């Protein structure tokens, strides 16, 4: 997931004069209140470029940045041409890729996460939904409950999931590429906090309801290792993997997605896990 769930989604006018690729790569959220003063802020473009050059070499970094920049400039139209298919399939169900200029979804895992989330939302009444991590409000009008530790916006409750009490249960508890940041992108770092957050999310699921969590592979390796060890954490786990060349997403086994690297240069995942936990009707 792009850091802080929305880190690359809004332009930063203070970068005026920079090449468009660096503007895009350096866009990051600014803390807009005291509660957000300790929020995670992703590395700037210069630091990421230097780190990438060290890890993958200068030539490879230049090629990767150029390819990413061309895809950015080409926009959704070029993405549709490259894919040659408007849909991807998960468990035999076809979903239409989601292309939005907010966070440039055709360049990252949002292209598949958002349509999966939209389908889940369409199946339940809005008053029976809680979303942890304010992602969907960036892409569609919402009327369900939204909780986010850092984001401050209309209708968003600012709270840490571990501080919330499950005084109400829901048919759908939704968390899009958010859990991997819990504890991992906080100071001090606590690798085990994300698992605790998942267990807390389950408390909000009503009998017969579902918890739907998406996770970008490679962002939080200890969490992914823990999920492999504790297979009972979720009722089901599916995986989608992205073709580097065509940017098409295809379903693969979770085991084959394990170990896929997250691209911290462009803040995008090459594989994503779709995790579901269902509470029995009682």
Structure tokens given for 155: 């209708």
Q: Is residue 33 part of a domain?
A: no
pTM of the predicted protein model: 0.86
CA distance 232 to 175: 19
Q: Is residue 250 part of a domain?
A: yes
Q: Is residue 56 part of a domain?
A: no
Residue-wise pLDDT tens digits, 232-259 = 999 999 999 999 888 999 999 999 999 9
Q: Is residue 53 part of a domain?
A: no
User: Among residues of the chain, what percentage have pLDDT more than 70?
Assistant: 85
- 85, 250 in Cβ contact below 8 A? no
Q: Is the pLDDT of residue 170 over 90?
A: yes
Q: How confident is the model at residue 15 (pLDDT cuts 50, 70, 90)?
A: very low
Q: How confident is the model at residue 3 (pLDDT cuts 50, 70, 90)?
A: very low
- Domain count within the chain: 1
What are the phi and psi torsion angles at 145 (to 5°)? -70, 135
- Whole-number pLDDT of residue 43: 77
Q: Is residue 83 part of a domain?
A: yes
- Whole-number pLDDT of residue 277: 98
Look at residues 174, 252, 172 and name the one whose alpha carbon lies nearest to residue 217: 252
The CB density around residue 139, as the number of other CB atoms within 10 Å, is: 20
CA distance 40 to 30: 10
The CB density around residue 188, as the number of other CB atoms within 10 Å, is: 5
Q: Is residue 257 part of a domain?
A: yes
- 271, 218 in Cβ contact below 8 A? yes
Average pLDDT value over all residues in the chain:
87
- What DSSP string runs through 156-217? EEE--GGG---SS-EEEEEEES-GGGTTTTSSS--TTHHHHHHHHHHTTEEEEEEEEEEEET
Q: Which domain holds residue 184?
A: 78-278
Q: Identify the three-state secondary structure at position 100.
A: coil
CA distance 199 to 275: 13
- Whole-number pLDDT of residue 23: 42
Structure tokens given for 162: 């571990």
CATH number (domain holding residue 248): 3.40.50
The stretch 32-47 carries a mean pLDDT of 64
């Amino acid at each position: 997931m792009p850091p802080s769930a929305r880190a690359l989604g809004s332009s930063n006018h203070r970068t005026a004069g920079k090449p468009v690729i660096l503007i895009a790569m350096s866009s990051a959220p600014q803390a807009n209140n005291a509660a957000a003063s300790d929020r995670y802020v992703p590395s700037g473009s210069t630091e990421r470029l230097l780190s990438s050059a060290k890890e993958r070499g200068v030539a490879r970094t230049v090629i990767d940045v150029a390819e990413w920049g061309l895809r950015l400039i080409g926009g959704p139209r070029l993405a549709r041409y490259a894919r040659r298919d408007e849909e991807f399939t998960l468990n035999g169900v076809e979903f239409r890729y989601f292309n939005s200029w907010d966070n440039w979804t055709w360049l990252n895992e949002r292209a598949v996460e958002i349509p999966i989330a939209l389908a889940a939302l369409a199946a339940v009444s809005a008053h029976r939904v809680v979303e942890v991590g304010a992602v969907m409000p960036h892409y569609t009008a919402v009327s369900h409950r939204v909780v986010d530790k850092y984001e401050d916006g209309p209708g968003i409750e600012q709270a840490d999931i571990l501080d919330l009490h499950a005084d109400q249960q829901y048919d759908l508890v939704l968390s899009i590429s958010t859990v991997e940041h819990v504890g991992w992108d906080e100071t001090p770092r606590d690798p085990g906090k994300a698992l605790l957050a998942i267990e807390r999310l389950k408390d909000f699921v009503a009998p017969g309801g579902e918890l739907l969590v998406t996770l970008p592979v490679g962002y939080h390796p200890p969490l992914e290792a823990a999920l492999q060890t504790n297979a009972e954490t979720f009722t089901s786990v599916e995986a989608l993997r992205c073709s580097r060349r065509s940017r098409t997403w295809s379903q693969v086994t979770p085991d084959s997605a394990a170990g896929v690297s997250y691209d911290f240069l462009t803040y995008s995942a090459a594989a994503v896990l779709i995790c579901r936990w269902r509470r029995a009707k009682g």
